Amino acid sequence: AFVSSQVLGPNALWKIIFAKNCYYDSHKGQHDYIYDSHNIKIQHIDYYKYLGINSGSYKSPISEHTEVSCGEYYHTDWKVNHSRLENSQRYLKSNDVVNLSTKKFYDNNGEYINDGYEAFLRSHDIQFSIGNDTFQELVCHNERLGGNDEWCIELIKQD
């Protein structure tokens, strides 16, 4: 997946879909669902595909980290961690700065890892072109976190 520019455009619009967790409410005598802001899926507004990593060992061509893309058979569950301690609430709001991670079960050589490890979504400053368009590559990594691993939530509308 790629970040196109800092200007809000079609490639910058994604829908956040919160995971539903079921719990039993003994007072109501029924199962209810709560939305968990720490577990999400990220869906492209125009293409309806989910952002994720392939369960295999695909490497990005530029940085050789784990490739991030939109596809049918990708691991698309993301964990939200507020990157600033003062924003550790259980909901997301505009201007929240978060880190996004997913569980990776294969190393870059294709070897299975029993318990997996947390891989963080990163955008870096290396740009490339396809035709007349310039893009930044998105990857997942398990290195030290920095500014390129922070994502600012901008809520445009709520369904």
Instruction: For 11-38, write each residue's pLDDT tens digit.
Output: 778 888 877 665 666 666 765 555 555 7
Q: Give residue 158's pLDDT.
A: 63
Q: How many residues does the chain have?
A: 159
Three state DSSP letters for 108-132? CCCCEEEEEEEEEEEEEEEEEEECC
- CA–CA separation, 48 and 64 (whole Å): 27
pLDDT tier for residue 156 given thresholds of 50, 70 and 90: confident
Residue 40's φ and ψ, nearest 5 degrees, are -135, 165
Domain ranges of the chain: 2-152
Better-predicted residue by pLDDT, 38 or 121? 121
Classify residue 59 by its DSSP letter: B
Q: What is the pLDDT of residues 40-90, one digit of tens each?
A: 888 888 888 899 988 666 778 778 888 888 876 678 889 888 776 555 566
Kindly report the number of other CB atoms within 10 A of residue 9's CB atom.
9
For domain 2-152, the CATH architecture is: Trefoil (2.80)
